[in-house]
Amino acid sequence: VLSYPFHGEHQAGITTPAQDRLHFAAFDVDDISREELIGLLKDWTAAAARMSQGGSAGDFAPDAGPYEAPPEDTGEAMGLGPTGLTITFGFGPTLFTTADGTDRFGIADRRPQVLTELPTFAGDMLEERISGGDLCIQACADDPQVAVHAVRNLSRIAFGRASLRYSQLGFGRTSSTSTAQVTPRNLFGFKDGTANVKAEDPAAVDEHVWVAEGDDQAWMAGGSYLVSRKVRMNVEPWDRTRLSEQERSIGRTKGTGAPLSGGDEFTAPDFAMPGSGGRPIIAEQSHVRLAHPDSNGGARMLRRGYNYVDGNDDLGRLDAGLFFICFQRDPERSFIPVQTSLAGSDILNEYIRHVGSGIFAVPGGATEGSYVGARLF
């Protein structure tokens, strides 16, 4: 059964081939001491290391341990195996300094400069209750029950120290992070993840994903910054939109995912090629053109998002979209410029709305016997 090592230089769940399922969770830390916070991170690390190998969240199996105590593992993943489970931890800006400027844990001076609340982008309709968070956990697996089990047990372990602020289930990865993977499709029916940073390109990963020694705070070396955006997709109007307009919005074909300038899925787009009326064949306001490194000073990022459907709203519309996640070495050089371009003029904006947002510092991986984030304290 597929499993990924938990310990190592980097946390798993970033360049790891994107699994099929997501359970993402953000937490608010309760009124606890620095020592209690460290204790939580140690407990989370130990449980995550075991679960990612298919083991119990606790020292005992779900059906063992003291008979008159609640089991240390809730049990629903018994027999399922690891199914590629990765658990990735991140620290939000409010862990370092609260909104009123309090340095709860004596780490305010260790907050990386780029770990600040994201700017407000044009068109943002963010809901506070599904944004932010002091801590985050990204659990990905090929079996949804395994991902949910991980978040559920980590929440249980956090009881009295941190409480769940919001969580999001995702299905159907919307990115490939390895050239060995087939490019999946998002809920607009287009291939998503074609031009992603992929694990097989270590130079690009080092340049755009991992924080280097000397970038900012030394404790972040080998880490990355996670930006999450819950993007509601207005699928009903999209589904009534002409195919030509759908392809114009993205700048690629719906079938093969090739750029409108021709070739196959992996042919580089030619933004200068003229189309009808002398205008470029790939519209200037298409998603691909605006998100492309050429339009954003070379900005790239590793996208690792998931589709979601949270039932429907009161108007009978699917409450569906993209839970966008990306990892990068520096959000000020990756997510922020790209989202600024997109928010301004992307044709897609007619069909999408950003409703949730988060930014987290994801430290490097833990060595065996240590815990995630040890270098911060």
Residue numbers 145-174 binding ligand HEM by CB under 6 A: none
**End-to-end Cα spacing for the chain:** 36
Burial class of 269 by CB neighbour count within 10 A (0 to 12, 13 to 18, 19+): buried
Q: Strands 302-303, 21-29: parallel, antiparallel or unpaired by DSSP?
A: unpaired
- Give yes or no for a contact between 218 and 375, defined as CB atoms under 8 angstroms apart: yes
Q: Which of 37, 114, 226, 231 binds ligand HEM (CB under 6 A)?
A: 231
Which residue, 142 or 247, is less far from ligand HEM as judged by CB?
Answer: 247
Q: Which of residues 27-86 bind ligand HEM (CB under 6 A)?
A: none
Pick between residue 49 and residue 233 the one whose CB is nearest to ligand HEM: 233
Listed residue (207, 187, 189) closest to 197, CA to CA: 207
Q: Where are the alpha helices (DSSP H) in 120-201?
A: 144-158
Q: Please tell me whether residue 186 binds ligand HEM under the rule CB under 6 A.
A: yes
The CA distance from 48 to 147, in Å, is 11
Give residues 249-278 in contact with ligand HEM (rule: CB under 6 A). Answer: 250, 252
Site map (CB under 6 A) of ligand HEM, residues 301-330, x = contact: ---------------------x-x------
User: What CA–CA distance (Å, rounded) separates 283 from 346?
Assistant: 10
Binding part of the chain for ligand HEM, among 62-70, 164-172, 270-278, 337-345 by CB under 6 A, reads 337-345
Q: Please, how many CA atoms are within 13 Å of residue 47, restricted to the half-sphere of its CB?
A: 26
Write down the residue that tokens 């490097």 correspond to: 364
Contacts of residue 352, defined as CB under 8 A and 6 or more positions apart, other chains included, come to 231, 232, 233, 234, 321, 322
Strand ranges, E, within the chain: 21-29, 86-91, 135-141, 162-173, 224-233, 302-303, 306-312, 318-328, 352-362
Chosen residue from 288, 325, 347, 376 binding ligand HEM by CB under 6 A: 288
Question: Pick from 49, 51, 199, 342: which binds ligand HEM (CB under 6 A)?
Answer: 342
Least CB distance to ligand HEM at residue 298 (A): 11
Q: Of all helices (H) and strands (E), which one includes residue 202? A: helix 202-208
Which position among 49, 233, 235, 281 is part of the footprint of ligand HEM (CB under 6 A)?
Answer: 233
Nearer CB in complex with ligand HEM: 205/352 = 352
Instruction: Return the range that interacts with ligand HEM (CB under 6 A); candidates 57-65, 123-131, 132-140, 289-297.
Output: 289-297
Q: Record the tokens describing residue 103, joined without a space.
A: 């340095």
* # residues near ligand HEM by CB under 6 A: 26
Q: Which positions from 194 to 213 touch ligand HEM by CB under 6 A, shown as an x/- string? A: xxx-----------------
- Region of 12-20, 106-114, 143-151, 225-233 interacting with ligand HEM (CB under 6 A): 225-233
Strands, DSSP E only, in 147-300? 162-173, 224-233
C-beta closer to ligand HEM: residue 90 or 193: 193
Which of 157, 339, 357, 359 touches ligand HEM by CB under 6 A? 339
CB of 276 to ligand HEM, least distance (A): 22
- CA–CA distance from 270 to each of 216, 217, 263, 280, 357 (Å)? 36, 39, 10, 9, 32
Q: What residues make contact with ligand HEM under the rule CB under 6 A?
A: 186, 188, 190-196, 229, 231, 233, 250, 252, 287-288, 291-293, 322, 324, 335, 338-339, 342, 352
